[in-house]
Structure 1
């Protein structure tokens, strides 16, 4: 029986020019390059310039994805942009991208923090299957450097700025796990964990942007158990085994989390795409950014089975399985 699939046809990413090595934090904090590397695996990250907005990063990634797919902006029917650091309270940052690339249809933002790209991917998949759009661009873009407390060494060294974009196109498959496209998604959230990872500001609370706050140890514990469970569920839904997965592209939060999840799922580290050392945690941008890097260097190829998983504030978490 034929079924409609959301098939990847192009991806791209963008990183701001400014590279911030760990040593830069040594000037103002009781920390060191060695301390940061040992606890996170992060060596450097990119920060947006003062005049760069989240939309600027997203637009650059979108244009790179269009180039990779051999498409024009007018070929895109919808844009779903995942971000926790939008340009404005409203309208959506996605509409800025829509205008900049000359896309038609509709565009909207999605907010699930670091899990945002997985949530956006699931929504894009549903839009395509429902016949609402033929081609959907899914973007993760963040300027987390704007919401960090630079006196808190436990959080400010973790995050970076960047954007990644993936274009999905409606194509028919036979309904099996051999199809190209998104094969399954698994989404979760639980608001009782709000205080583990949040920003202490907002429109209806303080009237300010606020700064990021996190209980790192608690987040680590939840991340390992919840990410491995969501990943396994996504594979079960699609009827595939861990040995069938070509690469796992996880949320790039912390090398220790990535390694622990891989071990819990019995996946060799060689099949995990890791970019956290170069980019830090770019929240909703981390998965499409890492995927685009792995495509550009020749690792991810046609017919590869890709498992993606992420967790963020909310707590919100999920996984998606996609064949390129």
Structure 2
């Protein structure tokens, strides 16, 4: 029986950083200008005044301290407050495919593979810059890979669902070697003028090489099993579905077209779903919580991760058992758990087991149980 394995991973981190302090300064300037401009309506009770934000509020609400973005100039302009991403011509590489090149190169290098050896590419991300042609096919062409490629969107669970799809195809013989790529430009669909969510997202791209364990060139992680689940909910929603660009008709400024969530409902409903999902996955594989060396969880909110960690391990997990990258990257949608895995997995010894889990809109949750294995 073919056992799929993760043999390489890579992360592209945009060079531009926005700190909480920078973000708050911009948001408060916007809010104060709004309140001044609408003073009469606010006094009449027709509209509500915009409340101010603070770095302390952001850290307490999320654990986030900074985020990387593809463009900070537009985000930090109180008159704009969204990334200024250049509209590219049809004969230029798209921005998502361009981001993917660096992450894929790192993953391929770690796996000891050339792009020509890849015969499956899945671009698994929460937002794609266009409906078609698939971004994955563009990545395939730019890399010089063979086989076939397709896009996948299961919101924040996209990467783990992509891992399951790739692993299943390798088990079944439909593909020999895959790249699961998650270019996430979350800044393009965030409403930066909403105090309750203006701090949540950042941009990044991750990539993973998945192939048969017996073909691995070095130390790797055998994919013991995967499990996915979905349940419809409107409590996390994005009606835009594409990267935000300013338009003269003002459509891009409609609040109902950008990211929205009912935070309290999400916390109440998603956490039990995720916790029970992980515990059922471990039980099915006859793995106890004591045998789990590390949890690489979706990086959306520190309080959420702390809750899930306690439920799964039966105690408060240490930073080593459940590493967070949220403070430096913010929520990067499906890429978050993969960043954590990529940065905090090399120290595991052969036989150590860990679980990658992502969750979010849908609702959706995907988990990947892995075991460290030595090289040939």
| Same fold? TM cut 0.5 | yes
Hey, what's the Cα distance between the residues in 2 that align with 1:218 and 1:300?
Answer: 36
Aligned partner of 1:176 in structure 2 is none
1:9 positional shift: 1.0
1:263 positional shift: 1.0
CA contact (8 A) 1:117 1:140 kept: yes
Hey, what's the Cα distance between the residues in 1 that align with 2:310 and 2:22?
Answer: 33
Establish whether residue 187 from structure 1 lines up as the match of residue 228 from structure 2. yes
Aligned partner of 2:239 in structure 1 is 200
Hey, what's the Cα distance between the residues in 2 that align with 1:6 and 1:276?
Answer: 29
Alignment of 1:87-166 (within 5 A): 87-166=129-208
Q: TM-score, normalised by structure 2?
A: 0.78
Aligned partner of 1:257 in structure 2 is 304
Q: Cα distance 1:153–1:300, how it changes in 2: closer, same or farther (>3 A)?
A: farther
Alignment of 1:298-317 (within 5 A): 298-300=346-348, 302-317=350-365
Moved over 2 A (4+): 49-52, 200-203, 298-304
Give secondary structure in 2 for the equivalent of 1:74: helix
Structure 2, unaligned stretches of length 5 or more?
A: 29-51, 72-84, 87-93, 243-250
1:221 positional shift: 1.7
Q: Cα distance 1:254–1:213, how it changes in 2: closer, same or farther (>3 A)?
A: same
CA contact (8 A) 1:197 1:212 kept: yes
Q: Which is richer in strand?
A: 1
Query: Could you report, residue by residue, the CA deviation over 1:61-87 in whole angstroms, capped at 9, with x for unpaired residues?
Result: 111101111111001110112112212
Establish whether residue 246 from structure 1 lines up as the match of residue 293 from structure 2. yes
Hey, what's the Cα distance between the residues in 2 that align with 1:201 and 1:75?
Answer: 36
1:139 positional shift: 1.7
Q: TM-score, normalised by structure 1?
A: 0.90
Aligned partner of 1:276 in structure 2 is 326
1:60 positional shift: 1.4
Aligned partner of 1:68 in structure 2 is 110
CA contact (8 A) 2:4 2:223 kept: yes
Query: Could you report, residue by residue, the CA deviation over 1:1-23 in whole angstroms, capped at 9, with x for unpaired residues?
Result: xx211111111101101111111
Decide which of 337, 340, 343 is 1:290's aligned counterpart: 340
Aligned partner of 1:225 in structure 2 is 272
CA contact (8 A) 1:163 1:288 kept: no
Give the length in aligned residue pairs. 309
1:202 positional shift: 5.2
Query: Could you report, residue by residue, the CA deviation over 1:125-172 in whole angstroms, capped at 9, with x for unpaired residues?
Result: 110111011111112220010111111122221111101111111135
Give secondary structure in 1 for the equivalent of 2:3: strand
